């Protein structure tokens, strides 16, 4: 007979020895932006299933944490009451009067059934991840649903309704933590930048495809912050077609020095994978090799780490990349081959091969020289004007 309370004690001890947490809910996959929309929440379930198939997580694993939806008061640490009220009203999926003023309607930010429920759950998952790290229950927490970095205080933007990175960072700052935010999505993390543009409590770093070629048309190197935040907003716009070498060069020139100077208590990262070569919405040439190198560097530099997902519109890329990232977070290796059982179950998704990792790819010739010249120009500007 097991003594009363032993199971609870064992659970506490197990949680205390955890180093990582994977914040996930099967509820993520029940939401749908609508036919033809690029953002497909089903990619989250696909990632979770691939992680399980690779033996990196089990349904009863203590690292698997179920999130709860964010509370209204949590969302209002950034978003306006009027905007939250409009999202709540539109949760039925019915168009309501005046929503266009909030960026809602046909197109990027459709009104769909459960839209607000989806947004609260994603934000709640990021808050859960932040709390697990802030309270020292784990050193790394990964919410693959998070990273919806375009939403503004009173406006939806770029498929994002609630800015979960901002909400999570606000919670950490409220606990007295210095936070560095690192965004490697193809799109500029404009919503997060705007939220912290005038404070020195948060350092925001975004590496992305140049706004001259890609939404949201911002994120230039001269956007460095205002007032107390001057020098605490850092942008590295990359030329279209930038490959692993260019991306990693820019990343290593800027990020380690910034973190060494700023000395954050916690790093929050957005690990979007719309940077990959065959993503349908962008024009970069990153592969899983460059992506994993940046994940390794963040892991080495971060004293504590809240990792969020982000963009990625080839869902096979999303599943592979975030599975590889989770393996790195746990100091282990994912297999080279995608398990055959998984491929058979999800053969309609569009995996181009059975390989977990991409073959190396590099741009050559004059185009590469021009890209390197442009990146050097940006890097030199940053070194002269921001906190390094």
Local structure of 121: helix, strand or coil: helix
Q: Which residues contact 2 (CB under 8 A, 6 or more apart)?
A: none
Rounded Cα distance between 7 and 3, Å, is 8
Contact 91, 110 (CB under 8 A): no
Rounded Cα distance between 284 and 239, Å, is 8
Beta strands in 290-357 (DSSP E): 305-308
Give me the count of residues in the chain: 388
Q: Which residues contact 119 (CB under 8 A, 6 or more apart)?
A: 87, 148, 161, 162
| 365 class by beta-carbon count within 10 Å (0-12 exposed, 13-18 middle, 19+ buried) | exposed
Q: What does DSSP assign to residue 107?
A: S
Q: What is the 3-state secondary structure (H, E, C) of 122-175?
A: HHHHHHHHHHHHHCCCCCEEEECCCCCCCCECCECECCECCCHHHHHHHHHHHC
Rounded Cα distance between 72 and 280, Å, is 35
User: In Å, what is the CA distance from 39 to each residue of 42, 109, 172?
Assistant: 9, 10, 28
Rounded Cα distance between 229 and 152, Å, is 18
Stated as kind and residue range, the H or E segment containing 20 is strand 20-23
Q: What does DSSP assign to residue 379?
A: H
Contact 157, 39 (CB under 8 A): no
From the list 149, 150, 188, 208, the catalytic residue is 150
Active-site residue flag, 79: no
Contact 364, 53 (CB under 8 A): no
Local structure of 319: helix, strand or coil: helix
Q: Which residues are catalytic?
A: 150
């Amino acid at each position: 007979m097991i003594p009363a309370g032993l199971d609870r004690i064992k659970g506490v001890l197990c949680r205390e020895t955890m180093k990582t947490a994977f914040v996930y809910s099967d509820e993520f996959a029940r939401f749908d932006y609508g036919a033809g929309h690029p953002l497909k929440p089903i990619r989250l379930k696909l990632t979770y299933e691939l992680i399980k198939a690779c033996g990196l997580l089990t349904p009863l694993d203590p690292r698997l944490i179920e999130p709860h939806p964010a509370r209204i008061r949590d969302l209002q640490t950034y978003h306006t009451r009027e905007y939250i009220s409009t999202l709540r009203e539109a949760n039925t999926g019915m168009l309501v009067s005046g929503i266009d003023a909030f960026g809602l309607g046909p197109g990027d930010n459709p009104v769909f059934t459960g839209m607000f429920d989806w947004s609260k759950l994603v934000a709640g998952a990021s808050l859960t991840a932040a709390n697990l790290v802030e309270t020292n229950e784990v050193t790394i927490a990964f919410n693959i649903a998070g990273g919806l970095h375009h939403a503004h205080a009173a406006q939806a933007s770029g498929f994002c309704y609630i800015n979960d990175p901002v909400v999570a960072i606000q919670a950490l700052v409220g606990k007295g933590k210095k936070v560095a935010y690192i965004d490697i999505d193809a799109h500029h993390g404009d919503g997060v930048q705007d939220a912290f543009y005038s404070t020195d409590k948060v350092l925001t770093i975004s590496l992305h495809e140049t706004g001259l070629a890609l939404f949201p048309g911002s994120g230039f190197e001269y956007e460095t912050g205002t007032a107390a935040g001057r020098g605490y907003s850092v942008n590295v716009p990359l030329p279209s077609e930038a490959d692993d070498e260019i991306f990693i060069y820019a990343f290593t020139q800027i990020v380690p020095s910034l973190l060494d100077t700023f000395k954050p208590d916690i790093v929050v990262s957005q690990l979007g994978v719309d940077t990959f070569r065959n993503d349908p919405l962008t024009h970069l040439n990153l592969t899983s090799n460059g992506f994993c190198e940046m994940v390794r560097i963040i892991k080495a530099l971060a004293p504590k780490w809240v990792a969020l997902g982000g963009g990625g519109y080839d869902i096979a890329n999303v599943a592979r990349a975030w599975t590889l990232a989770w393996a790195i977070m746990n100091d282990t290796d994912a297999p080279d081959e995608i398990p055959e059982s998984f491929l058979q179950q999800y053969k309609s998704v569009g995996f181009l091969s059975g390989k977990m990792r991409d073959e190396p790819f590099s741009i050559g010739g004059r185009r590469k020289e021009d890209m390197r010249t442009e990146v050097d120009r940006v890097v030199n500007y940053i070194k002269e004007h921001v906190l390094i």
